[in-house]
Structure 1
């Protein structure tokens, strides 16, 4: 008889999770960070990890490379589509072992919406229940929505498990290849969601088994120590690798509400834009506490000019200084800056280079800690800048309270690693005003080097789309509305 048809024959294949080693028990064989960064990190003990060493949580986590359908958990998860009839390897294997009754039972559920979770009996499986969920279809343009939906999948799976008193859950990889979600991005969301849930409701769940294929195992094994460090040493070593955007206290992606522009004269957003003085675009030096910070790089530059410091020594000190900033960035809670949605990664340009977006209107300069802004920039950009990338800056509808002053920008330029400047291939300045062009020219000519030739001024989105396809960039709605209102379809389509 074919394998899987005989319930007794199938059951002999099932895996008792009690025999599997927990994550805490596995040998610590994670990647080690460079020595320079490690030394710098050890001197920055005052910045705690957002995911500290918790052996009680690690003992509930299991990494299993194999078939989720074989686990004898109280419940296993099936990743499917909205009609619950998707034909992916995980779902097909569950159906094969559960038997034909599962298909009949799924018809009664009448589908499942993206992000939701529903359960059925396990039938011929060792698991008593199957939790069915629908992961999002991924498109770079709608990345934020996809993140929220994927979070909801994992959160609703665990919530359903606790409500139904399911002691153990076998989690398959919800983001199937058919739905196009980047595996590493999806894994970050899965790990932080499960971690936060276990922190708050861990007493109600005895085990969470991450069931992965051979191809998925490497990513899971690499990222698990970031969220589930197995010692205080591993916690310290992994801290620089923890993403800046770790969601809220539940692990949920922070989706900022539409920014509300407050002016003394509402309704006059653009009317007087050309009449303001040039300083308003980049601001005046010294208004913010950050402008008064000590500049290590400036000191080094003076020493080298005086002949007291070699160029190689200066570069080494600059690298150490940058590593100190990077360690701080990895250790601080920057969720409030992430929530502004002023800097984010989207798709790729026509040359396949990563596109980073800066939204000027979303930067409330007078209300935020600019040092944290710099930390967030370093944290987000550190892994992006290792390869060629481009930046798109939407100057659309910015006001004086949105403009970063020149001293801040100069400090940022001086502090960041050399790779940031080398690998930045273009800076697209969208919807510039006359005064912003002049201010930028002064800044790139006299304050920083190597930037002026990379700046491209674009008056409308159609010009941007000749460099970056529309589906590859997530554009804020107010930018789209402004462009349609000011440039109009006829003008834009003629480019």
Structure 2
């Protein structure tokens, strides 16, 4: 029986505003309803008012919520001392401790069920989050996903109508709050999409310190209007897991496919429990080596070509959405990249002016966004680029790492449809740098580069009237190589 007056502490979740209802408090009413605004690339987490009406975000004590089940975060022995667990034990009473002894612990990533005893909630779901080490981030991600997935699975299996989730990771376990929130929000979202018809309410009960983070990230996974969906799309991380929200680990899938039914050696399991708990016997779960350091090689070497292309396309679309949404007028004002006429074969000519790129002064990421924004529609068909290296200084030279990142990010059409790259007024040093870059850093570009020492060579490929050349380039070329033919310069 509850102590006299104790029940008055508890909060009925039906009295709390849903995530969808909170929109009117934050945005104008004319954006709160209606289908999502049409845009080129649909969000992987589209506007779903039916799901948003099930979701509640509160700041406070999960132990006080009157719902079917609440979540307790603990350690492998289920005797952890943390604010959430201490408060649940205090209100549930000594019977809870006795019940936990019967469970004989809980592995990292698992979820186990007990009665709620003196709580308003009928049940308590106990789970154990991973200890976080950046070197083993991928294993920690998988374990944290398992926590939330197993919690939601129990809710569905037991036909529970509502559940209140605390922040599973504790300060002692060291998981970065924002990274953990991404996993929690996307896992619950995917579960509600695929298996959540019988679930009426999911509450995220977070501490005051975590509330701004959750409020910032919720629109990414639970947009409350078409406008919010569109605004959130560029901010969604590239890695959103599979259709269930689970982190994709290709190496694990490959190993299982190679040796089905063969168990891995588990001799190292005990020594690793102190770091991440028992996360499985598979080699990847045992964290042999720096998995994240090798992840790129694994992806490139083992993923199918189609899967790699799909992942790359999704990443590029996010960059493109960001480019379309951001104010890039300061980069445009540099006049370093622009479209001009066509070459002798009728292909669009794009001009890049090296001296107009103040590398040390501009936001390089915005420059990358501007390049994507300008070039996206140009590259749908064949095109050529003319780069004027004329009178560039050290402060104009783009870093090779930036160029490699740009090459890796852009869509395949950028590379496929580039027919020629005319390098005008190169220096010996720039030729050497370009040779090394195109030989060792990027593939398929070296044979497209053409070094042109003067404008006369350029005019054999592009008529003078079809290209807008900066005055300082014309002056330099006339000084070094002699005056241009009048008929060629008159068109400029």
Structure 1 residues 57 and 9, CA, compared in 2 at 3 Å: closer, same or farther?
A: same
User: 1:345, 1:364 → 2: CA distance?
Assistant: 14
Aligned pairs (5 A) from 1:345-494: 358-359=296-297, 362-363=300-301, 367-368=305-306, 373=312, 376=315, 417-418=366-367, 444-446=433-435
The match for 2:237 is 243
Please say if residues 250 and 298 of structure 2, whose CA atoms lie closer than 8 Å, have aligned partners that are also in contact: no
Give 1:165 deviation, angstroms. 1.6
1:110 partnered with 2:110: no
The match for 1:10 is 6
User: 1:128, 1:364 → 2: CA distance?
Assistant: 47
User: 2:193, 2:253 → 1: CA distance?
Assistant: 32
Give 1:257 deviation, angstroms. 2.3
Give 1:362 deviation, angstroms. 2.4
User: 1:209, 1:366 → 2: CA distance?
Assistant: 39
The match for 2:50 is 56
Structure 1 residues 248 and 100, CA, compared in 2 at 3 Å: closer, same or farther?
A: same
1:19 partnered with 2:12: no
Give 1:204 deviation, angstroms. 1.3
Give 1:205 deviation, angstroms. 0.6
User: 1:442, 1:375 → 2: CA distance?
Assistant: 34
**Tell me, what secondary structure is at the counterpart of 1:208?**
strand
Cα displacement string for residues 269-320 of structure 1 (whole angstroms, at most 9, x for unaligned residues): xxxxxxxxxxxxxxxxxxxxxxxxxxxxxxxxxxxxxxxxxxxxxxxxxxxx
The match for 2:201 is 207
**Tell me, what secondary structure is at the counterpart of 1:7?**
coil
Cα displacement string for residues 385-422 of structure 1 (whole angstroms, at most 9, x for unaligned residues): xxxxxxxxxxxxxxxxxxxxxxxxxx9xx996547967
**Tell me, what secondary structure is at the counterpart of 2:209?**
helix
Give 1:359 deviation, angstroms. 2.7
**Tell me, what secondary structure is at the counterpart of 1:173?**
coil
The match for 2:89 is 95
Cα displacement string for residues 349-405 of structure 1 (whole angstroms, at most 9, x for unaligned residues): xxxxxx99753882579935669637637969x99xxxxxxxxxxxxxxxxxxxxxx
1:143 partnered with 2:163: no
Give 1:423 deviation, angstroms. 12
The match for 1:255 is 249
Give 1:16 deviation, angstroms. 0.7
Please say if residues 2 and 118 of structure 2, whose CA atoms lie closer than 8 Å, have aligned partners that are also in contact: no
User: 2:87, 2:96 → 1: CA distance?
Assistant: 12
**Tell me, what secondary structure is at the counterpart of 2:203?**
strand
Structure 1 residues 124 and 251, CA, compared in 2 at 3 Å: closer, same or farther?
A: same
Please say if residues 149 and 191 of structure 2, whose CA atoms lie closer than 8 Å, have aligned partners that are also in contact: yes
User: 1:202, 1:179 → 2: CA distance?
Assistant: 30
- The structure with the larger Rg is 2
Please say if residues 193 and 250 of structure 1, whose CA atoms lie closer than 8 Å, have aligned partners that are also in contact: yes
User: 1:161, 1:365 → 2: CA distance?
Assistant: 34
- The partner residue of 1:226 within 207, 220, 227 is 220
**Tell me, what secondary structure is at the counterpart of 1:214?**
coil
Please say if residues 80 and 86 of structure 1, whose CA atoms lie closer than 8 Å, have aligned partners that are also in contact: yes
Cα displacement string for residues 146-203 of structure 1 (whole angstroms, at most 9, x for unaligned residues): 1111111011111111111211000000011111111111111101110011111221
User: 1:189, 1:361 → 2: CA distance?
Assistant: 21
Give 1:248 deviation, angstroms. 0.7
Aligned pairs (5 A) from 1:282-297: none
**Tell me, what secondary structure is at the counterpart of 2:4?**
helix
**Tell me, what secondary structure is at the counterpart of 1:120?**
strand
User: 2:211, 2:176 → 1: CA distance?
Assistant: 14
Aligned pairs (5 A) from 1:320-335: none
The match for 1:468 is none
Structure 1 residues 27 and 257, CA, compared in 2 at 3 Å: closer, same or farther?
A: same
Scaled by the length of structure 1, what TM-score is found? Answer: 0.54
- The partner residue of 1:168 within 151, 162, 167 is 162
